[in-house]
Amino acid sequence: MQENTENNLSINDRIREVLEYLGISRYKFSQATGISEAVLVNIYKDKNKPSVDFIEKTLNKYKVINAQWLITGHGEMLNNNQCNLENIDEIKENKDNSKKTCQLCSEKDKLINSLQAHIDTLQRELHRCQSQLDDYENEAPPGQKRKVG
C-alpha cells in the first residue's frame, strides 16, 4: 500500500491510481459506479477534477479506498482498519475477468483477420470470374450474346 504524506499526486492522479490498483478499465469503473465514462475521460485528461458526487460514488462502491487519501492525498490509499474481503474478492474477480476479456478479444481479432483474408480472397476470385465472363461475352459474334451456363 502506498503512503502519500507529501500530497504530491493530484486528485486526478489518485483516481488513475485507484483504477490501476483495482485492475479495471474506465468502462468497468463507470459501469460499477454509475459515473459517466465521459466524466472519467475528462478526469484522465486533466480537463476536470472529480465532483463531490464522483468521489461519493467511488467511495460507496469501493469501501477499501481511504477517503482522506482520495480527497487530500494524505495517508494510505487503502483503509487500514477496514479489510473488506468482499471488495478484495471483487477486485481479484475484476482482474481475472479483465484478463479473460483480453484473451477473448485477442481470439476474436485473430478470427476477424482470418475471415477478412478469406473475404479478400473470395472478392479477388469474384472479380477474376467477372472478368472472364466479360471476356467470354465480348468474344460472341456481334448482335449475339453467348449463353452462360
Residue 40 to residue 15: CA distance in whole angstroms: 9
State the pTM of this model.
Answer: 0.53
Q: Give the H or E element holding residue 118.
A: helix 85-138
Q: For the chain, 149 residues long, give each residue's pLDDT as a single digit of tens.
A: 444 444 589 999 999 999 999 999 999 999 999 999 999 999 999 999 999 999 999 999 999 999 999 999 999 999 875 555 556 666 777 777 777 777 778 888 899 999 999 999 999 999 999 999 988 888 866 666 656 65
Exposure string (b/e) for 59-81, b if CB count within 10 Å is 16 or more? Answer: bebbebbbeebbeebebebbbee
145 phi/psi in degrees, rounded to 5: -110, 140
Residue 95 to residue 58: CA distance in whole angstroms: 18
CA 87-93-97 angle, 5° bins? 145
